[in-house]
Chain A
């Protein structure tokens, strides 16, 4: 069938600069560049280009420009390019549109409508260059009250399973299979070096990454891939995955093409079969059932690990979160509307869930009102782009954040949304042996620790400016936030005052 889809991108090659070296041909995993031997000329198949910029970055003479196809349809606010082209794709395949990464729709980003405070005159700011600044964060259940020993030198109350993080930023769940082993190794090593946690996703643990288990969150998802008692007991935290912001309410299908020999050994399923994660966890149909699995995991790890429960941020998050805490979760993770994934039906990614800022504010508020906020830590994920977002999230009530897309961008990702194809030209979201070599774990680790380090410096600077010397003092301190351009209802849900008031 002839496709009616126009190329999404135009590849321009400056013939004056191009030396026919064919770097762009070998770099493009989408088969969009080729060498015509007869004419001795490098050419492009623009219809294949996804705009990942791999060739642009690797062209030694900067000869390539990739830009959006400027040709346009008749202007129509309703029938946008995307609306038209989605229908063309579906009429040519008959399938659900699959995509990767988080939604690219223009839903409001509330971080950009929240502003932090700074000290002026009436209280001094702190200079983080000269004074100690504390970003240390402890995740896990906190006691209702703390009792000191009679001589007041120690704490008498028994404090259970606290996870100490040097920075309040963790690397989110990305499974081996969805991402390459070199990528996962980079994440694991960076987390270990930075004193934070990485997350296995639902793919089990590859033997070569066991040495990073002490900084690992072991995920238990509906597919239960690679889940056994050794895996659970090696981890620092065990995380039950109920849902994910990029695809609330649905499961995951790792296509058989991505289930290589090595992935199959880690997931413990035969090579080439689809790894199907059912939509629900089949032993959880209620809060009581969730509690049953939480305690099954506590039993399996002899009460030595905090149990985290991750949900997608949806309409009733606050009530659900309350149930999760009462069910025994030590950490609850909220993944917002803008959260990313290796593969999701586009219609779900772009239309289901709620923004993380609203979910966080509602959950924190609800748990406080019910007097159970201390019983679990809150971790938020889904669209954290910079240290400003992190700081605002903490002021809004989060204990820590997970980052995913930001971490992948540090490794080279250009957010081309092709993760589901398994062809990632940056070697991140693929199990193709040739492509996975593009991530060197030594360099990947460095890029990630650099990112975490720069964010830490920035957070300290912001804290200092507010006159605060410990992130603990900012946690849930919404007086340090003001809203701009928000409706009264939004301000009320966020629990912040309007700027100027």
Chain B
């Protein structure tokens, strides 16, 4: 494999703007891989950078990878809110937890979270032909997981739940009208939005899920087969047009 030309940035005491200018500069100089150290709340890391590899140490701020177009970001820590906002292409791997609205309106790309996530994960994600965003969460999620979802794949593993303990999110998939959610372990009907149907996974589902879980396991040192042994539930939208009957013409 060709070795990537790499650079390092010490983000200590840098403002968001200073860091983003610095990163743009480094990318313009031809670096394909950048390590960012002492990251502390700077926003929009990865936005507008194109296809570059970023390794972030410390805690990046909100909107990490917003409107991202092909970057590959690894966070060696936690991410905050709005991570992967309206993401178009690329990959975000988080070795910790992430905040609210992870992957909001994402159109493509992948997000892997080792730990837990906040509210409204994957809200209004979409898909179009081959552009199909994927988000997989190792831990648990808060309410409104997959709200308004219009496409893509969400996977919720709940690896940190006790045996038999149910998932924490309520109102899962409220307003969902596209895409699919796979939930591992127990999820009760009352936790689901009323627009959802539940089903067992078929071969195609296992195929798609297997690939995602394998990649997830490879980043965080899990055993994919062990994860896949447990029962999964498939959640899908019952209607393509959940609000089609609201109006009198």
Q: Per-residue CB proximity of B226-249 to A under 8 Å, as 1/0?
A: 000000000000001111111111
Kindly state the separation between the CA atoms of A57 and B167 in the bound complex, as whole angstroms: 63
Contact B243 A274 (CB under 8 A): yes
Contact of B177 among A94, A227, A276 (CB under 8 A): A276
- For window 61-116 of B, CB contacts with A under 8 Å fall at 62-63, 66-67, 69, 81-82, 85-86, 88, 101, 104-105, 107
A202-256 CB contacts (< 8 Å) to partner B: 222-225, 227-230, 232, 253, 255-256
Closest chain A residue to B150 by CB distance?
A269
Interface centre among A98, A229, A297, A302 (most CB of B within 10 A): A229
- A232–B120 Cα distance when bound, in Å, is 25
B243 in contact with A228 (CB, 8 Å): no
The CB with the most chain A CB atoms within 10 A, among B24, B47, B248, is that of B248
> In the complex the two chains form, is B175's CB within 8 Å of A256's CB?
no
A272 to B, closest residue via Cβ:
B240
CB contacts (< 8 Å) of A94 on chain B: these are 248
Q: A274-B243, A292-B62 are in contact. Are A301 and B48 (CB under 8 A)?
A: yes
CB of A416 closer than 8 Å to a CB of B = no
- The chain B residue sitting closest to A97, CB to CB, is B248
Please count how many residues in chain B sit with their CB below 8 Å of the partner chain's CB atoms: 44
Q: How large is the interface on A (under 10, 10 to 19, 20 to 34, 35 or more residues)?
A: 35 or more
Q: Is A95 an interface residue (CB 8 A)?
A: yes
Contact B43 A296 (CB under 8 A): yes
- The distance from the CB of B79 to the nearest CB of chain A, in whole angstroms, is 14
| Contact in complex: A302, B48 (CB < 8 Å) | yes
Cβ of B176 to closest chain A Cβ, rounded Å: 10
| Nearest chain A residue, comparing its CB with the CB of B63 | A296
- On whether the beta carbons of B69 and A229 are closer than 8 Å, the reply is yes
B150 to chain A, nearest CB (A): 6
- Nearest CB on A from B131, distance (A): 7
B67, B81, B128, B241 pick with most chain A CB within 10 angstroms: B67
A90 at the interface (CB under 8 A from B): yes
Q: A35: CB under 8 A from chain B?
A: no
Decide if B24 touches A302 in the complex (CB within 8 Å). yes
Take A228-B69, A229-B69, A292-B62 as given contacts and tell me if A274 and B248 are in contact as well, using a CB distance cutoff of 8 Å: no
Say if the beta carbon of A76 comes within 8 Å of chain B.
no
Report whether A256 and B241 are in contact in the complex, using a CB–CB cutoff of 8 Å: yes
Closest to A345 in B: B247
Residue A300 lies at the interface, judged by CB distance under 8 Å to chain B: yes
Q: Which residue of B lies closest to A227 (CB)?
A: B86
Do residues A300 and B148 form an inter-chain contact, with CB atoms below 8 A?
Answer: no
As a 0/1 sequence over residues 70 to 89 of chain A, the CB contacts with chain B under 8 angstroms (1 = contact) are 00000000000000000001
Contact B247 A282 (CB under 8 A): no
Chain A residues whose CB sits within 8 angstroms of the CB of B191 once the complex forms: none
**CB contact under 8 A between A276 and B66, given known A89-B248, A299-B20:** no
Binding site for B on A (CB under 8 A): 89-90, 92-98, 222-225, 227-230, 232, 253, 255-256, 264-265, 268-270, 272-274, 276, 278, 282-283, 292-293, 295-297, 299-302, 345, 420-421
Name 27 interchain pairs, CB-CB below 8 A, sorted by A.
A98-B247, A98-B248, A98-B249, A224-B86, A227-B67, A228-B69, A228-B86, A253-B246, A269-B178, A270-B128, A270-B240, A273-B240, A273-B241, A276-B175, A276-B243, A282-B104, A282-B124, A283-B82, A292-B62, A293-B63, A295-B43, A295-B44, A296-B43, A296-B44, A296-B63, A296-B85, A299-B66
Ordered nearest first, which 3 A-B pairs have the shortest CB separation?
A93-B248, A95-B248, A224-B105
Given contacts A274-B244, A282-B148, 12 further A-B pairs with CB under 8 A are A227-B86, A227-B107, A228-B107, A270-B128, A276-B148, A278-B124, A282-B101, A283-B63, A292-B63, A295-B16, A299-B66, A300-B47
Tell me the B residues contacting A by CB distance below 8 Å: 16, 20, 24, 43-44, 47-48, 62-63, 66-67, 69, 81-82, 85-86, 88, 101, 104-105, 107, 120, 123-124, 126-128, 131, 148, 150-151, 175, 177-178, 240-249
